[in-house]
Structure 1
Amino acid sequence: MNIIIITPAEEGSRAGNRATAMRWHHLLEQSGHHVSVLTEYQGEQCDLLIALHAWRSAKAVKAFREAWPEKPLIVVLTGTDIYHYQHEFPDVTYASMETADLLIGLHDLVSQDIPELYRSKLVTFRQSSEQPTAFAGSRSEPGQFHICVIGHLRDEKDSLRAGVASRHLPDDSEIIISCAGKPYTEEWREKALQESRDNPRFQWLGELNKAEIANLIAVSNVMVISSVMEGGANVISEACRAGLPILASDIPGNRGLLGKDYPGYFPVRDDKRLAELMYRTETDGEFLAKLRQRVMELADTFKPEQERQNLEKALALAVQKST
C-alpha cells in the first residue's frame, strides 16, 4: 500500500512521535509498502493514513476524512492524548477517535483509560528496539553506580526527579545520575543546569544521538523512568532489550509494559521513595538481579519483527473496518 504517516514532530527531531514514525516507516517498507512521513496533511493521495497523536494531528485527521471518506484511517493514541488532552480538550480529541477506523495504543492497559465507546476500535501493541551491541553495565566504571534518565525534559516526564531523589542518599552511596534529553522549554534548560551545578551526584548531558544513548545504557546499572504520564515509553523497550533494570513511576503507561507486579515501582513524584529504591539497587544484589531478570524476561516482547507483524495486522484490520 501507499501509506502516509503524520507526526507533529518536525524532521530531525528526536521526539518520541518522530522516532515512532521513522521506525514504522522502516518496518512497513520492509513489508513492501511505500511510506511517506509528513508533519501536515495537505490532501495527498494514499491508500491509508496513520496519524500519530489524536489531538495534535486532529487537523490532518479531519482533512483526510473529508478528502477520502472511504479510505482507512488509523489514529495512534499518545500519552498526552490519553492522560491529558482527552480531559482538557475532549471535543477535539474525541473527534479524532470517532473519525478513525482503528485506534492504536502502545501499552497493554490503554483500554482502561479511554471511553468505552471507542474500545472496540482499539488494538494495542508494544514499540520495539533493536538488540544493542553492548548490554547494560558492560562498560560500567568502578567506584560509581550509574543511574540514567533518558527522555526530553518536560513536565510530563518529571525529568529531574531522580536528581532530586539523589539528594536523600546517604553519604556512602556511589550513585551518579546521568540525565540525557533536550529541554522542552528554556525553563527546563535552566532547571537542569541548576541541578547540575548544585547537586554533585547529578549531571545533565543534553540531547544525545543514538550511538551516545547506546553508550549511556552500556555504562549504566539502572534506568529511572519518573514520568507522570506515558503512552508507552520506548525507553522501556530499549532498557529491556539491553537488560537494564528499571525503576519506574507507578502509572498505567509503565504498568502496561512492565506488568502489574513488577517490583521496581515508586509513587509518582515521591523522591524519598525513589531514593530508597535507588539505594536498594546499589546495595541489595538480589533485588538488582530480580529487576534485571524481569526486564530480560520481557525483552522478546519488544522485538522489531513482533512490532512489524502487529503493524501488518493493524493495517489489515483498518482496511476491513473501513469497508
Structure 2
Amino acid sequence: MRKRIVIVSPATARENNGNWQSASRWKRFLQSTYDVQIAGGWTPDDPAPDLLIVLHARRSASSLAAFAAAHPARPSILVLTGTDLYRDIADSHEARASLASATKLVLLQPAGLAALPEALRLKAQVIYQSAPALRPHVRSPEARFTDICMIGHLREEKDPLTFIRAADLVTTPGARLLHIGGALDPALGEAASSAQKNNPRYRWLGPLPHSTARQRLKRCHAMAITSTMEGGANVIIEAVTSGVPVLASDISGNRGMLGDDYAGYFPVGDARALARLVDRSIADPDFAALLRRQCAARAALFTPGAEQAALRDLVDNLLLAAPGAPNQHERPR
C-alpha cells in the first residue's frame, strides 16, 4: 500500500503565490511513489497521513501542533518561508513551537540558517526550489521598449512602492517597468493604479496565470525583486532559468539565492539605486553580460531534477526511519 503524504499550504491555487507553487511542485515530484494531497490544514478528525509537510511556521502552526500531538511517532517537515525566518520566529510563539515540533526543517536557501536558533540547525536542510529552463529570448533590435519586470502580489513584504518610485527615476529612453501581481493590499493597488495613469514608464498588469507570467518574464531585459524579506524567491529561479538577470534588494534571502558576490544588488527601499541599476543594465552591455554570467552560474542549483532528488531523499529516509516501516533496508522506487 502506498504511503500517504499531506502537504498543508496556507495558499491556494487561486492565490497563485510562491507557497502554492512550492506545494503543487512537491506534489508532482512525490506522487509517482506516494499518495499525495494538498490541503489547507489538518485536524485530528482528518485521516492521518504517514508524513505531514507544512508550509509556513505561523500560519500552519495549528496543523503541525495537532499532528505532532495526535501522532508523535509520525514524521513531519516544516518548510520555512521568508516571513517565518525574518519576522515570525522572533515574534510568534506559534512559529517557534512549529520549529520545535517538526521532525525536519527545510530552508530554501542557505543564508537562512543564520536566522535559526543554533540548537535547531542540525535538523535543518536546504532544498533549492526549481523551474524548468526556458530558451532565452532574443530581443529584436527594432523592439520599441526595454522591459524590466517585477513579479509579486502587492503587499508590504514585496515593497512594490520602491519599484513604482524607481519608474519615475529611470532615464533610459524606452525603458518600461512592468509589474505582475494582484493587489493584496488595497492601498498599494491604488498606488499602482495612480502610477500607471501618471507615468508612461510604469505598467501594472495585475495577476496573470503562472505560465503567462513566465513567458512575459522571459521576454524582459531584467527582473527586479524589491522585497524586504524572502525565504527563497521562486521568481529569482524562474528568471535565472530563463536567462533573465536579476536586480535584487540586498537581503539575506536574495543573497542566499544569488551569492554574496553578485553584482546586481541595491539597498532595500532605495528606489534611486534601483533606477541606476536599471539604467546601467541597459546602457552598459558589459555590466549586463556580467549579471547574465553570474545568474547562469547559479542555474545548476535550480534544476527540477536536483530539487526532486533532494526532496525524495528526505521523504524516503523519514518514512523508512518511522516506527513500523515495513522494510528498513529497501528504499521506495
Q: TM-score range by the shorter chain?
A: over 0.9
**Deviations, residues 183-213 of structure 1 (Å, cap 9, x unaligned):** 1122222111111112211000000112321
Query: Equivalent residue for 1:147?
Result: 148
Contact persistence 2:196–2:202 (CA under 8 A): yes
Task: Please give the secondary structure, in 1, of the residue aligned with 2:31.
Answer: helix
Secondary structure, aligned partner of 1:5: strand
Q: C-alpha separation between the residues in 2 aligned to 1:263 and 1:203?
A: 26
- Aligned equivalent of 1:249: 249
Separation in structure 1 between the aligned mates of residue 61 and residue 196 of structure 2, nearest angstrom = 38
- 1:317, CA displacement in angstroms? 4.5
> Partners of 1:212 and 1:313 in 2: how far apart?
32
The answer on whether the counterparts of 2:16 and 2:210 sit within 8 Å (CA) in structure 1 is no
Q: Using the TM superposition, give the Cα deviation of residue 218 of structure 1 relative to its aligned residue in structure 2, in angstroms.
A: 2.7
Distance change in 2, residues 1:136/1:223 (3 Å): farther
Q: In structure 1, how many angstroms separate the alpha carbons of the residues matched to 2:199 and 2:39? A: 41
Q: 1:66 matched to which residue of 2? A: 69
1:28 to 27, 30, 33: 30
Per the alignment, residue 40 of structure 2 pairs with 39
Structure 1 stretches of 4+ moved >6 Å: none
Name the CA distance, whole Å, in 1 between partners of 2:12 and 2:265.
33
Residue 78 in structure 1 maps to residue 78 in structure 2: no
Write the distance in 1 (CA, Å) between the matches of 2:258 and 2:321: 31
Whether the 8 Å CA contact 2:154–2:183 is kept in 1: the answer is yes
**Counterpart of 2:91 in structure 1: which amino acid?**
E
From 121, 124, 140, the counterpart of 2:123 = 121
Q: Is the 8 A contact 1:74 1:101 kept in 2?
A: yes
2:200 equivalent to 1:163: no
- Where does residue 227 of structure 1 map in the other structure? 227
Whether the 8 Å CA contact 1:101–1:322 is kept in 2: the answer is: no
How far did residue 97 of structure 1 move?
0.5
Does the CA contact (< 8 Å) of 2:218 and 2:239 recur in 1? no
Report the Cα distance in structure 2 between the residues aligned to 1:158 and 1:102, rounded to whole angstroms.
Answer: 31
Structure 2 residue aligned with 1:130: 132
CA contact (8 A) 1:82 1:113 kept: yes
Relative to structure 1, the CA distance from residue 202 to residue 66 in structure 2 (aligned partners, 3 Å threshold; closer, same or farther) is same
- Any conservation in 2 of the 1:137–1:218 contact (CA below 8 Å)? no
Query: Shift in Å at residue 138 of structure 1?
Result: 4.5
- TM-score, structure 1 normalization: 0.94
> Mean alpha-carbon deviation: is it higher for 111-120 or for 256-265?
111-120
Equivalence for 2:113 = 111
Q: Residues of 2 paired with 1:297 and 1:266: CA distance? A: 20
Residue by residue over 1:107-158, the C-alpha shift from the partner in whole angstroms, topping out at 9 and shown as x without a partner, is 11111111112111100121000122x4245578613211000011111011
Amino acid at match of 1:10: T
**Which of 9, 12, 33 is the matching residue for 1:10?**
12
**8 Å Cα contact 2:164/2:192 also seen in 1:** no
- Equivalent residue letter for 1:290: L
Mapping 1:249-288, distance limit 5 Å: 249-288=249-288
| Structure-2 separation of matches of 1:189 and 1:101 | 40
CA distance in 2, matches of 1:137, 1:278: 19
> 1:265, 1:278 → 2: CA distance?
11
Residue 99 of structure 1: aligned partner = 101
Residue identity in the other structure for 1:63: A
Is 1:306 matched with 2:309?
no
Q: Larger deviation: 57-66 or 180-189?
A: 180-189
Q: What amino acid maps onto 1:37 in structure 2?
A: I
How far has the Cα of 1:13 moved from its partner?
2.3
SS of aligned partner of 1:308: helix
CA separation of 1:80/1:173 partners in 2, compared to 1, >3 Å: closer, same or farther? same
Does the CA-based 8 Å contact 1:106-1:127 persist in structure 2? yes
% identical equivalent positions:
36
Question: Tell me, what secondary structure is at the counterpart of 1:160?
Answer: helix
Distance in 2 (alpha carbons) for counterparts of 1:36 and 1:313: 19
Counterpart AA for 1:174: G
TM-score by length of 2: 0.92
Compute the displacement of 1:102 (Å).
Answer: 0.3
Superposed displacement of residue 294, structure 1:
1.3
Question: For residue 331 of structure 2, what is the aligned residue in structure 1?
Answer: none
Offset at residue 17 of structure 1 (A): 0.9
CA distance in 1 between partners of 2:112 and 2:319 (Å): 22
Query: Is there any run of 5+ residues in structure 1 with no aligned partner, and where?
Result: none
**How many Å apart are 1:320 and its aligned residue?**
6.6
Say how many residue pairs are matched.
Answer: 319
> Relative to 1, partners in 2 of residues 1:276 and 1:179: Cα closer, same or farther, differing over 3 Å?
same
Amino acid at match of 2:131: S
